[in-house]
Structure 1
Amino acid sequence: MLLDEKTLVTLQRLGLTYYGARIYETLVLLGPSDATRLSAEADVPRTKVYDILRRLETEGWITSERTRPITYTARYPREVLEERKAEFNAAVDETANDLSMLYDNQMDKENPRVWLLRGSGNVTVKLLDMISRSKKSIMLMGSLYFADEIGPLKTQLEYAKKRGVTIRLITQKSIQLKDGEIDILGQLSPAVSEVKVYGPPYSKSAIVDDRELLMLFPRLDNNVPDEDSIVAIWIPNTAVASNWASIFNAVWNA
């Protein structure tokens, strides 16, 4: 029987072995079948088919009826795949939490390293990464936003806001770049908790959870930022980030 390879790959990603995926897909196509027929139609060695069927039943992919010979039936695909997807997503979330905790613990060691980033693309990647890991607070100050950055940034801020992260933004209403003007307030204000219109137009800083700081500096060409010459520093250091957060708060309160 000719089976769909894409389906087999997906089933394996959800935990089935190659032969297990072939047996399950074959059962879906054939309907209730015995081991002999399944071995032939799925092209699975007869010596392996019973062990595979027992595993599939134990893991909830199929059911069996104690007839002679035993008849096997695939569980409804949408139901069983939704169960596996939920288990997979839960495992991903748990792994993300564990790794994030290790990352946070590393940052708590007050490693004094400073990383230099060049170019607006590299800076945007780092900013989005910081925001995606935020847990408590995000402080954004300045108006140096780019056309390719504003959309993905808004999306990440919306996700953070849904997680309960407090987001404050100090910025000017817009910024003029070589390719045109960007409406900063119109784009970002729906995705943040609070906004104040103030701040220098040609710089930007981001403080996440009082743990890490990103600061951007451009080269100006006729009073327009040159995106290709953007330089930023990323400092994953609680002391530095907390001190800069106090400056942010002073500007905010003023």
Structure 2
Amino acid sequence: MDEELLDDLLARVSKFASVLGISRSELKIYSTLLLEGQSSARDLSKKLNISYTKIYSILNRLEDRGWIRKVGRRPVSYEAISLRDLWSNVKKMLEIRVSQLEKEFIEPLSSMIDSASAYTVTVVPPSSLKRTLIDVLNEPSKKYLIAISFPELLDEEIYQLIHSRTFTSEVKVIVQKGIKVPENPSIELKVLDNMFGSGIVTSSSVLLVIKSHESLSSIISSHRYLVDIAQVYFNHLWQQALSIGTNP
């Protein structure tokens, strides 16, 4: 296992994972088990230079989350679940956290403001996603921040609509590496190796698209708080992304 490469990956991912309550140590232990196979707590403790007491605490959390499982007896060893199962697990965790934020913060806060100013969060069915993309891009906005990680979202009609926005607004587009985009000097375009999902952020709304069970799921919201968070996160990705033609 390339330790330097893994440490670099964990350094980039851990900032986002911490939002979900996932520590870097948990990511490190899961990755080690996935890449190197079954291991006992004692061997992990020695290899990763983590105290024996702490390693058990972390292993218990990972087991509770369903990321790892025990195998064998005396001594007990641990093995990692597959990446596919892990991704499904993380998406469920994200859905739970978003629902929890809505229930414990957004809903109580919205009850304190005028009903006319209340937020909206709408789940978009897959059959309506294309229409919703077009509607969002047709919203009057000073800027359009667009992240595309699924090539099926960027067909000719959507591309031409994005291009038309450049005549009146600031347009920034990040595409995931491997997605082909026609050269166009009027569009600020960057590329990123990997992204969590796709989305569009305007001055007044945010559309988030993720892939679930091989289909695209999405939500759209006009809540100011969520729009601000989306803009901050997009700008974070923009700083990490490379301009087209730039060597890493």
Bin the TM-score by the shorter chain.
0.3 to 0.5
Larger radius of gyration: 1
- TM-score (normalizing by structure 2): 0.45
Tell me the TM-score normalised to structure 1 length: 0.44
